[in-house]
Amino acid sequence: MIKAIIIDDEAHCIDTLSILLTDYCPEVEVLEKCPGSKKGLEAIERLNPDLVFLDIEMPVMNGFELLEQFKQIPFAVIFTTSYDQYAIKAIRFSALDYLLKPIDPKELIAAVHKVNVQKEPPSAEQFRILMEQIQMQNKESGLSKIAELLDKSHSHHSFTMSQQRRLAAILFTDIVGYTAIMQQNEEQAVTVIKRHNTELKETVSAHAGEVLNDYGDGSLSVFASVTDALQCALEMQQRLQVAPAVPMRIGLHIGEIFFEGGKILGDGVNVASRIQSLGHGNTVLFSNEIHDKIKNNPKFKSVSLGHYEFKNVEKPIEVFALANEGLVVPDKRNMEGKLKKRSWKNFFFSGQGKKI
């Protein structure tokens, strides 16, 4: 196992990276999540990690200044950054690695693999070169200028400040087995991604939703209407079963969301992601809150899959599967995901992942 620490002053970035590591990099054990550079330094000294995921722009002490506290870096470093290309070249040259936000799962897998293969932290000379390049860059543009550019890019987001906090239906998609497809046939993987992205944009737009994050092999969208969100999920799955088929799972939940620095936050986002993790290809799963809104709508057929205790979610959540024609209802005995433990309340056999 690779023992890791995450250091970032934005809680939603920590949560997103943690979820991605759980899903795509099971060899990484996150020892601690640190909401800032000071707590990060303390955790490094106390836990002696193999790997540190380090944000660059943080108040009080940025990521580079944190590293300057060490004469030689005794751990591998992967920056999580929105830094410009000049600084990224310096990071690359130092033999450290970086991930641009929002983090692409494929890039995360590659960065962690690199750490696994190298087994050695950067040398003192590599680190010295990195710091010299960064200091040169700071003189030319300054960290504040980079932050200003980022703020400007976020200001064009379609949600206004008055709309930042609201109730929304949250929809997560994920292409099942994408990493394996990429390893076996890159051309097929590219075709799958393009098909997913095309259908996603068309169906979400057609149902008055908005795609807020595109993770490459997955996405996060929001809707003002639960009916629109579920109808979008149904149509997307039906369209993706036509060749070339895309094995996609969808999870939905309803909750309050808000925006900070152009990022979507809220417990509902975490819950929707957890629910999606239980699915198989061609499934649409959703929470009891979603079910309450659509249970009397004849357009939708649903089946309860029981109650589940998800990681970092306080109370058990009843999960339902959309059971319209052509969709897969997963066998509860074979469901795996981001769970603390599984509750088999009111268990009954639903068939081996069969189509309805």
We report the CATH number of the domain holding residue 80 as 3.40.50.2300
Asked if residue 354 is part of any domain, the answer here is: no
Q: Are both 20 and 168 inside the same structural domain?
A: no
| CB within 8 Å of 343: residues ≥ 6 apart | 306, 307, 308, 309, 316
Residues 126 and 175 in one domain: no
C-alpha R_g of the chain: 22
At 268 the pLDDT is 84
pLDDT digit string (tens) for the chain, length 356 residues: 889 999 998 888 898 899 889 888 888 999 999 999 999 999 999 999 999 999 888 888 888 788 888 877 788 888 887 655 545 544 544 546 777 777 888 888 878 877 776 655 555 555 555 555 555 544 444 444 433 433 433 343 343 433 456 788 999 999 988 878 877 887 888 888 888 888 999 999 999 998 887 776 788 999 989 999 999 999 999 999 998 889 999 999 998 887 665 566 778 888 998 999 899 999 999 999 999 999 999 999 999 999 998 877 878 899 999 999 999 999 887 777 777 754 444 433 334 444 55
7 and 138 part of one domain: yes
Closest residue by Cα to residue 34 from 23, 46, 42, 26: 42
As for how many domains the chain has, the answer is 2
Assess whether 145 and 188 both reside in one domain. no
Do 212 and 124 fall within a single domain?
no
Neighbours of 186 (CB within 10 A): 10
Q: Where a domain ends, among 155, 176, 193?
A: 155
Please tell me the predicted confidence (pLDDT) of residue 99. Answer: 79
Domain boundary among 138, 155, 172: 155
Asked if 181 and 255 sit in the same domain, the reply is yes
pLDDT of amino acid 128 = 59
| 350 occurs within a structural domain | no
Is 40 found in the same domain as 133? yes
The answer on 148 and 192 residing in a single domain is no
> pTM of the prediction?
0.53
SS3 call for 183:
helix
pLDDT of residue 179: 78
Domain ranges, residue 89: 2-155
